[in-house]
C-alpha cells in the first residue's frame, strides 16, 4: 500500500472557532478502502451494545467494537492505525468501530468525552463503505451555521480540541443506505 498521496480535498479548518475539524479525501485509495471494508465487516466481532434513556434500556442503533492496549488488533486495524499515525504524527492506543448497517442506523447529537484523551484531544475518524452525512453544530452559539460533510469511503476527519464546544451526529435518513464502517482513533490516558 502506498502512503496517501495527493489529497483531492483537504479543508484546513471547517470550524470558525473553538477547535478544529479537518476533512481529508481520499486518504485511502478505492482499492484499499474496499479491502479494509470487506475485512473489517466480516472479521470484526460486532457487538450490540445498549444505552439507558429515562430508566429504559434500548439497543444502540448501530453495532460497535472496541480495541485498546489489552487486546489483539487484527492486521488491517494495525495497518490503518500505522497510516493514521504516520500522517498525523500522533500515537493512538484505542479505536472504536461503528457499523451502520443501513439508513436507520445512526448516532445522535453528542460530543466525545473520550474519558481522558491526550495530545490536544485529537480524534481521528476514518470511513469505509457507504457515504453518510456528518453534521456538526455549536453547543450554544446559535449564530454559527451547522456544518455538514458527506463522509466518503476512504476519507479521514481530524477533530482537535472541539469536543467541549461542538456536537456531532450521523442522522438516520429516509434514503436507502448500504453498510458503512467508521473508526475513531483516540489516545486515552488512564487517570489514577
Ligand atoms: O460515524 C461517524 O462518523 C461518527 C462516529 C461518532 O460520532 C462516535 O463514534 O462518537
18: left (phi over 0), alpha (psi -120 to 50) or beta: left
Q: Is the pLDDT of residue 191 over 80?
A: no
The tens digit of pLDDT for each residue in 85-99 reads: 999 999 999 999 999
Q: Is 76 helix (H, G, I), strand (E, B) or coil?
A: helix
Q: What is the mean pLDDT of the chain?
A: 91
Most confident among 9-13, 102-106, 186-190 (mean pLDDT):
102-106
65 within ligand 1 shell (Cβ under 6 A) = no
Q: Ligand 1: which of 170, 171, 173 to mutate, most ligand atoms within 8 Å of CB?
A: 170
How many Å lie between the centroid of ligand 1 and the Cα of residue 38?
19
pLDDT for 4 equals: 53
The position carrying cell 439508513 is 103
Q: In what order do the strands lie in the sheet with 132-138?
A: 107-110, 166-170, 132-138, 147-151
Q: Ligand 1: which of 66, 158, 168 to mutate, most ligand atoms within 8 Å of CB?
A: 168
How many Å lie between the centroid of ligand 1 and the Cα of residue 168?
8
The tens digit of pLDDT for each residue in 2-41 reads: 445 556 667 689 999 999 999 999 999 999 999 999 999 9
| pTM of the predicted model as reported, rounded to 2 decimal places | 0.92
Domains of the chain (ranges, CATH numbers): 20-186 (2.60.120.590)
Q: Grade residue 151 by pLDDT with cuts at 50, 70 and 90.
A: very high
96 within ligand 1 shell (Cβ under 6 A) = yes
Amino acid at each position: 500500500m502506498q502512503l496517501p498521496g495527493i489529497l483531492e480535498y483537504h479543508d484546513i479548518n471547517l470550524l470558525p472557532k473553538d477547535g478544529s475539524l479537518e476533512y481529508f479525501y481520499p486518504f485511502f485509495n478505492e482499492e484499499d478502502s474496499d479491502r479494509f471494508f470487506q475485512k473489517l465487516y466480516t472479521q470484526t466481532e460486532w457487538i450490540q451494545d445498549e444505552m439507558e434513556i429515562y430508566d429504559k434500556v434500548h439497543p444502540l442503533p448501530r453495532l460497535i467494537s472496541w480495541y485498546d492496549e489489552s487486546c489483539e488488533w487484527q492486521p488491517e486495524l494495525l495497518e490503518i492505525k500505522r497510516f493514521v499515525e504516520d500522517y498525523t504524527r500522533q500515537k493512538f492506543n484505542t479505536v472504536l468501530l461503528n457499523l451502520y448497517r443501513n439508513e436507520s442506523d445512526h448516532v445522535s447529537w453528542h460530543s466525545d468525552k473520550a474519558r481522558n484523551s491526550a495530545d490536544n484531544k485529537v480524534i481521528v475518524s476514518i470511513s469505509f463503505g457507504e457515504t453518510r452525512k456528518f453534521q456538526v453544530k455549536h453547543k450554544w452559539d446559535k449564530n454559527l451555521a451547522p456544518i455538514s460533510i458527506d463522509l466518503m469511503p476512504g476519507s479521514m476527519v481530524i477533530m482537535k480540541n472541539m469536543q467541549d464546544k461542538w456536537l456531532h451526529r450521523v442522522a438516520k435518513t429516509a434514503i436507502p443506505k448500504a453498510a458503512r464502517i467508521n473508526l475513531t482513533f483516540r489516545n486515552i490516558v488512564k487517570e489514577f
